[in-house]
Amino acid sequence: MYVSLFLEMEIPKSLRTFFNEAGEIAAFTTGFFRELIRPKHEFREFIKQCYIIGYKSLPLIAITGFIMGLVLTMQLRPSLTSYGVEAELPVMVSLAVVREIGPVITALIFAGKIGSSMGAELGSMRVTEQIDAMDVSGTNPFKFLVVTRVLAATLMLPILVVLSDTISLYGTYIGVNIRGNTSSSLFFSQVFHSLEYSDALPATIKTFFFGFAVGIIGCYKGYYSKRGTEGVGRAANSAVVIASLAVFILDLLAVQITDVLGIN
């Protein structure tokens, strides 16, 4: 009786839309792995996308990392000074940046820049029928457009996070010396003495999943864009929103896994 009543209940439209889109993204992801291992591989396009996604994102990531380290240091200093532990400022900031703040903030900036770019670019190609033309001409548009971009995003984000963390630590050093006088050798000796592999390794591993999620969602939204130019704008916007949400969810799962494994 209760089962029949449950089956007769009308599922809200928003919930149906959510599950439908989740299923389509899962199928899209399955298609990515299927095309990834199937020859022929678009190596030149992959290198091009690594340049566009990685190298051209570096200035924005570098500026964000520097400001992040500088501001975090300036914000934490008064609190630590009131407790008499100002000497621990480099250690606390470096641990916060390497473990959590650096990977998440960099991934969100990455989602905003690369996710929207993928959604808009592939969306415009879809509405102008360029993807259909590639398919007719014998080129596999999914492998050429999607696989190369997702793989490049997956590999480039961890590199950008490492660079961002490094620049952020330099920003921390500048922030420490605004109201103090700490030598670079003492500062970095204190920082690297406090950091362990258990701090850097899980943070680096989860950035691969961040990059993969941003690439998959951005490409999915653009590849199946509809409704002309209006659909291109919606694809870019929804790619950023969903990719950012995915980063937070993946980060939550990563924290829970490392906590269960006793890594942190």
Average of pLDDT values for 114-123? Answer: 92
CA distance 204 to 152: 16
This prediction has a pTM of 0.88
Please, which pLDDT band fits residue 7 given cuts at 50, 70 and 90? very low
| Contact indicator for 232, 127 with CB cutoff of 8 Å | yes
Q: Is the pLDDT of residue 105 over 50?
A: yes
| Mean of per-residue pLDDT scores for the chain | 87
- Determine the pLDDT at residue 179: 76
CA distance 220 to 212: 12
Long-range CB contacts for residues 234-240, cutoff 8 Å, separation at least 24: 235/119, 235/120, 235/122, 235/123, 236/115, 236/116, 236/117, 236/119, 236/120, 236/123, 237/116, 237/119, 238/119, 239/115, 239/116, 239/118, 239/119, 240/111, 240/112, 240/115, 240/116, 240/119
Which of 34-38, 105-109, 193-197 has maximum average pLDDT?
105-109
Please, which pLDDT band fits residue 218 given cuts at 50, 70 and 90? very high
Q: Is the pLDDT of residue 264 over 70?
A: no
Tens of pLDDT, residue by residue over 187-209, are: 888 888 888 888 888 899 999 99
Percent of the chain with pLDDT over 90: 46
Please, which pLDDT band fits residue 5 given cuts at 50, 70 and 90? very low
Q: Residue ranges of the alpha helices (H) in the chain? A: 2-8, 13-36, 43-53, 58-82, 89-96, 102-110, 116-127, 130-136, 141, 148-176, 184-194, 197-223, 228-261
Average of pLDDT values for 223-236? Answer: 83
SS3 79: helix
Q: Is the pLDDT of residue 135 over 90?
A: no
Average of pLDDT values for 212-227? Answer: 90
Q: What angle do CA 10, 14, 16 make, to 5 degrees?
A: 60
- Determine the pLDDT at residue 40: 81
Amino acid present at 208:
F
